[in-house]
Structure 1
Amino acid sequence: MSAITAIKASAPIEPALSEQPAWRRVFREGALTVGLILPLETHPDSPFPTMRDHVAMAQRAESMGVAALWMRDIPFYDPAYGDAGQIFEPLVYIASLAAVTSEVALGTTGIVLPMRDPLLLAKQVNSLDQLTNGRLLLGMSSGDRPSEYPVFGIDFDTRGERFRDAFQTYRTVGEQPFPVFSSLRFGKSDGTLDMLPKPQYGRIPAIAVGRAQQSLEWIAAHMDGYLGFVPRPDALDAFVRGWNEHVAHSMGREAFKPIAFGGYLYLHPRPDYPFRTIRGGFVIGSRSLRYFLEQAREAGVSHVALNPKVTPRPYADVLDELHSEVLPYFIPEVSHATREHT
């Protein structure tokens, strides 16, 4: 049973939300931007990053025109998966990086929503929204590691239903004044209490990371965008077309809800090395990557989140090559503050 207060299909992005700095920087119709999935270091032979120089790398990425830095949500290290993400809890880490950057969007790929209390999550992300002046993008997922669920006392097989319940509760409590809701899992309120702060741009963009055990139809109707796995070049058109058809059915033909993809990037030393799929991502040379992203932009993809951790060379070298061969062709929106300063 999900919360009593129903969430209607999410309308096309409201004018207020379209002014949110993170949204403006990352998602624009007809454009494509590039983000990085943390950690900001390469470690192909170890599940654990050192997290050395991560502040300097974040600042360097921002200065090079990276649109967003994305943090993964991995509560426990499972040796069977061999990947500990960026080690730090993502929302805490976002707060830390927000203090040493000024423009780059800060997002999650994604918060494992079924394992989170949606009431506290609303308080946390609304606070981050205010403290970062709207630089937050909230990617949400259902999680893909069955070993973590028993630790939280949650049934892995119910994560899809639990995701919908948590999302509905999160949206109701986080956005509505003096919310009325009731959930078997997450409590209830008769409207006598309010949660502060509220999002300063109406709501914080909620992006599905993977399917989250939902249909694309449900995601298109209720969430603000979708970040899927890396498609092959010959599958880009179908990847975008299927999403756009669901958005049009739920919201109308004029609606814009962005589609993105992300995964591991093995940046090949030969710049013209062609696209090749690997587990969780792809191998490609830097010039071929530029052409692939141009093809993705033409197909209607709005953002690409890359994780170069599998590339066997220093992260600074990877950033330099991306800056030289790729990033100048996919420039993010400049904030009002920067425009006024310049």
Structure 2
Amino acid sequence: MDMSAPLRERSPTNAVRIESHPGYQRVFRRDALTVGLILPLETHPDSPQPTMRDHIAMAQRAEDLGVAALWARDIPFLDPAYGDVGQIFDPLIYIAHLAAATHTITLGTAGVVLPMREPLLLAKQVNSLDHLTEGRLVVGMSSGDRPSEYPLFGIDFETRGERFRDAFSVYRNVSESTVPRFTSPRFGQSAGLLDMLPKPPYGRTPAIAVGRAQQTLGWIAENMDGYLGFVPEPEQLESFGKEWRELVRHTAGGSAFKPLAFGGFLYLHPKPHQPFKRIKGGFLIGSRALRDFLEQARDAGVNHVALNPKVTPRPYAEILDELGSIVLPAFSGK
């Protein structure tokens, strides 16, 4: 990664070419499916927090094997009721660290809790990071699902959906428009006298919804660049893909492509043919059955799956090797 490279000229807002964004291209492709991993790259089924040892080596190994993306979660505080703090580090800061140790793998958030973020500063951070990673950043945004965190920020949990839309509008406006104008009941106002630099290097940094974010799926299809939902049952894959395609066609036109993804915990069973079984927050499955499940998902129109093997009671390196030999060759992100 060349930190001395000049900033790329920004595309005009009306000529955003998101298809040219390298991070987006690596993860999201028409009629194809890629595999990503949710951080940390460590198993810790009996502890709320990982050790974060060897995480750089695991990220480099994942990149070499053809994993398309690494996804960082946004969990500001440890809530014992949830017992999970993700990768511990702030997602954007951690992504910057990973970017310096990797070369091509997409780095994303899954997702930034937008109602708890100040959108003007978030736009500055995201635009800067997309430049410094040379277009490897994809921003997943969510509304958050932990009511205990909201009082610490002085925010009403029940209004997080409305706050999400307000923050997203300001974020997009200030990020992509020249000397933007806006008025927000929560996030200030601009009379069109000031501009934010840098602008996104490819016109727009891809922003996808992680979960419904307290919005309708139609709103997501119309306003965001993709959708990452919860893991469907195998028999629900076809309807999962069909509903999304129809909404995208209705809101963005028949030729539009907006990717569909799903993600959650993966308990990789030692028996390769162990069939799909629902577990809390994800699913249990064997590696060969997983490959079949992902082929079925691809045929249903799913473009990406983000897996979090933290609940698997096996060494992470062993899980990576098994995915690399059985699953990833069919869905490589290289």
Report the secondary structure of 1:173's partner residue: helix
Tell me how far apart the structure 1 counterparts of residues 61 and 114 of structure 2 sit (CA, whole Å): 31
Q: Residue 157 of structure 1 aligns with which residue? A: 158
Gaps of 5+ in 2: 1-13
State how far apart, in whole Å, the 2-side matches of 1:165 and 1:16 are. Answer: 24
| Post-superposition offset of 1:253 | 1.4
How far, CA to CA, are the matches of 2:332 and 2:58 in structure 1?
Answer: 19
> Which residue of 2 is the match for residue 222 of structure 1?
223
Write the mapping of 1:1-342 to structure 2, written as runs, cut at 5 A.
16-332=17-333, 334=334
Distance 2:92 2:256 in 1: 30
Q: Which amino acid aligns with 1:288?
A: A
Q: How far, CA to CA, are the matches of 2:126 and 2:201 in structure 1? A: 11
State the distance in 2 between where 1:191 and 1:161 align: 24
**Match of 2:97, SS?**
helix
Contact conserved, 2:19 with 2:25, CA < 8 A, in 1? yes
Q: Which runs of 4+ in 1 moved over 6 A?
A: none
Measure how far apart 1:17 and its partner are: 1.5
Unaligned runs of 5+ in 1: 1-12, 335-342
Q: CA deviation at 1:16?
A: 2.4
Between the aligned partners of 1:187 and 1:24, the Cα distance in structure 2 is 34
Deviation at 1:85, TM superposition (A): 0.6
Secondary structure in structure 2 of the residue aligned to 1:228: strand
The total of aligned residue pairs comes to: 321
Length-normalised TM-score, structure 1: 0.93
Paired AA for residue 69 in structure 2? A
CA distance in 1, matches of 2:99, 2:183: 34
1:57: how far off?
Answer: 0.4
Partner residue, 1:6? none
Q: Which residue type is aligned with residue 154 of structure 2?
A: G
Offset at 1:331?
1.6
What residue identity is the alignment partner of 1:148?
A: E
Q: Deviations over 1:99-153 (max 9, x none)?
A: 0000000000000000000000000000001000000000000000000000000
Distance across 2 between alignment mates of 1:159 and 1:253: 32
AA at the equivalent of 2:283: F
Q: Which amino acid aligns with 1:151?
A: L
Separation in structure 2 between the aligned mates of residue 196 and residue 280 of structure 1, nearest angstrom: 39
Residue identity matched to 1:202: G
- TM normalised by structure 2 equals 0.95
Three-state SS of the structure 2 residue aligned to 1:326 is: helix
1:57-102 alpha-carbon deviations (Å, 9 max, x no partner): 0000000000000000000110000101100000000000000000
Distance 2:158 2:173 in 1: 25
**Aligned-partner residue type, residue 105 of structure 1:** T
CA distance in 2, matches of 1:26, 1:137: 9
